[in-house]
Amino acid sequence: MRFGHHNASYTFPDGDDPFEDTVALAKRLEDAGFEWFSTMDHLWQLPFVGHRDDPFFDAYTTLPAIARETERMDVSALVTSPHYRNPAMLGRQLTTLDHASGGRAVLGIGAGWFEEEYEAYGFDFPDVSTRVHQLRDTVELVRAMWTEESPVSFESDYHSIEDLYLEPKPIQAGGPDVLVGGGGEQLTLKAVAEVADRWNVPMVSPEEYAHKLGVLEGYCEEFGTDYDAIQKTVLQKVVIRDSAEAAHEVYEANQRATAAGQVPPRDAYRGLIGTVEDVIADVERFEETGAEMVIVRADGNDAETTDRLVETVVPELA
């Protein structure tokens, strides 16, 4: 199994500089064999992760710093909103990130969902069908920028460019891979089948993941795309302790401390919560369903969980 890390929080229990602590964590994880590092493309901290006034950094000015301090990990937002920046500017930013990383950039993109942020920053928040359509149009536009000779012109239902120059092109032939994030079975998985090189869905159980893989495979058959060519990834929250009881208690305390304060019942799926052995077994279950990479986030940047991932789980499974 391949492993990635999603940096959902810039708060570190024992840290004193959130940006430098994040860079240091990325370097440590790469040394431990992690192959992916992502940040959230949000404008402040989400209520089910922390609080609005927690430290928080912009994805596309953080990722180049991570890229320059690492050598092998893919770097990406998980996932980019197609509305927070002009899509042509996004294509240019990904090109710069690809050069900063030596060809390790990935365009992780979703449909956008956090209406509260949209309203605060003055972005329009269209209905979900429109947002998914705009996601697809954004991918087609940036791929035209990455692959066509300058000047590039492009027009779709929602976006257009005329005589745009992008030089140099990305390092990666054809441009960075596109990862579409989300599990919506009516719209998002169709977009995955149509435009994605990779797919990620957050916080589903192995059984639900297997079901969604079946839905995705059906759409690939419908659209004539290669299901096997799409890299399948899953995002999981993780807490590791000496006992499952202790791990769940830490998880519950962390959830209560967030702005949302919501604690799912123990009979609901919570992620990779338990002992090292429990986590290894659950990762193996995801692998059996068809997942090729598990992207983890240590709840609250929990140091004990990170230590056990680095020292035991990844060496056992990678």
pLDDT value of position 300: 82
Cα Dmax for the chain: 61
Task: Specify if 244 maps to a domain.
Answer: no
Amino acid, single-letter form, for residue 173: A
What is the C-alpha to C-alpha distance for residues 128 and 113, in angstroms, rounded to an integer?
Answer: 8
End-to-end Cα distance, the chain: 5
Task: Specify if 29 maps to a domain.
Answer: yes
Burial of 265 (0-12, 13-18, 19+ CB in 10 A): exposed
Amino acid, single-letter form, for residue 78: L
Task: Specify if 242 maps to a domain.
Answer: no
Look up the CATH number of the domain holding residue 74. 3.20.20.30
The H or E element that residue 281 is part of is helix 276-289
Residue 160 in contact with residue 154, Cβ under 8 Å? yes
pLDDT value of position 154: 97
The H or E element that residue 256 is part of is helix 244-256
pLDDT value of position 262: 94
The tokens of 181 are what? 């994030």
Domain holding 19, by residue range, is 2-231
User: Would the pTM of this model clear 0.85, i.e. be above it?
Assistant: yes
pLDDT value of position 2: 98
How many domains does the chain divide into?
1
Residue 17 in contact with residue 32, Cβ under 8 Å? no
Residue carrying the six token digits 């209406």:
115
318 pLDDT more than 90: no
Task: Specify if 50 maps to a domain.
Answer: yes
Phi, psi values for residue 174, rounded to 5°: 85, -5
Pairing of strands 152-155, 105-109: unpaired
Q: Please state the rounded mean pLDDT for residues 148-160.
A: 96
Amino acid, single-letter form, for residue 2: R
Nearest to 188 by CA among 136, 225, 227, 237: 136
Nearest to 183 by CA among 155, 167, 205: 205
Provide the percentage of residues in the chain whose pLDDT is more than 90: 98
Burial of 303 (0-12, 13-18, 19+ CB in 10 A): middle
Task: Specify if 304 maps to a domain.
Answer: no
In the DSSP assignment, the letter for residue 158 is S
What is the C-alpha to C-alpha distance for residues 177 and 200, in angstroms, rounded to an integer?
Answer: 13
Residues in the chain: 318
* Residue 37 bridge partners (DSSP): 5, 75
CB proximity list for 158: less than 8 A, separation 6 or greater:
133, 134, 137
Task: Specify if 79 maps to a domain.
Answer: yes
Task: Specify if 251 maps to a domain.
Answer: no
CA angle 178, 181, 183 (to 5 degrees): 140
Q: How does pLDDT run across 100-142, given as a tens digit for each residue?
A: 999 999 999 999 999 999 999 999 999 999 999 999 999 999 9
Task: Specify if 224 maps to a domain.
Answer: yes
pLDDT value of position 122: 97
Nearest to 115 by CA among 105, 103, 123, 107: 123
Residue 8 in contact with residue 49, Cβ under 8 Å? yes
Q: How does pLDDT run across 32-74, given as a tens digit for each residue?
A: 999 999 999 999 999 999 999 999 999 999 999 999 999 999 9
